[in-house]
Amino acid sequence: MTVAQSLAISGTLMTVRTGEDSDTCRLVEAARSGDRDAFGSLYHDYAPMVHGILLGRVPRADAEDLVHDVFVTALRKINSLRDIDAFGGWLAEIARNLATDHLRREGRRQERPIDSDEDDRSAELAVAQHQADDVDAKNALEAVRSLPEAYRETLVMRLVEGMTGPEIARKTGLAEGSVRVNLHRGMKLLREQMERGGS
């Protein structure tokens, strides 16, 4: 661990903002009463956050299946949620726990490279370019995964899922200022990681 990473870990802002928006609270209440459409809306609203959390922890190929598992678990346990204002944070914790369980079960395995049986030269070139892009994306994701958790999660949500800072704050329950600082510090650390890796 570098000195910068050590300082970053100690300086990580994790201020939690309380309170979901009223639409989310209404949907959570409806889902608790058995309204599947309401739960479907929650899925639609929160899937990018959940995917971002998972992608920061597990291989890309596993993240999609785990998104589904997170929401199945949430549906099964939604009546145990004590504070509907904390839905986003509760869901994020389910995602973190399932990712940890998944890694324990599967062990830390490497993603399989894309292979191609195509004989067509243009298809081979396209596959080669895709693999090169895949390697670049994989290297960038690995650099992000090496960052402290708060930075890793917010960066994946921002860079991969395309969520805005205020949206990340609203979905995760973190204060907007915390998200802003985590994104800024995380980007700085990521740039340093990538520069070290490229030299």
Contact between 70 and 96 under an 8 Å Cβ cutoff? The reply is no
Contact between 10 and 151 under an 8 Å Cβ cutoff? The reply is no
Residue reference for tokens 């199945």? 72
Percent share of the chain, pLDDT over 90: 51
Hey, what are 146's tokens? 């090496």
pLDDT category, 34, cuts 50, 70, 90?
very high
pLDDT of residue 177: 94
pLDDT of residue 146: 87
Report the C-alpha gap between 75 and 32 in whole angstroms. Answer: 8
Domains and their CATH numbers in the chain: 1-15+122-199 (1.10.10.10), 18-112 (1.10.1740.10)
Q: Is the pLDDT of residue 115 over 50?
A: no
Min mean pLDDT across 56-70, 96-110, 142-156 is at 96-110
Q: Is the pLDDT of residue 185 over 90?
A: yes
pLDDT of residue 20: 57
Min mean pLDDT across 32-36, 57-61, 183-187 is at 57-61
For residue 174, the SS3 value is strand
Nearest to 73 by CA among 41, 55, 50, 56: 50
Contact between 5 and 68 under an 8 Å Cβ cutoff? The reply is no
Q: Is the pLDDT of residue 15 over 60?
A: no
pLDDT of residue 39: 96
pLDDT category, 118, cuts 50, 70, 90?
very low
pTM of the model: 0.70
pLDDT digits (tens, 9 = 90+) for 120-175: 444 344 444 444 445 566 777 888 888 888 799 899 999 889 999 999 999 988 89
pLDDT category, 5, cuts 50, 70, 90?
very low
Q: Whole-number mean pLDDT of the chain?
A: 78
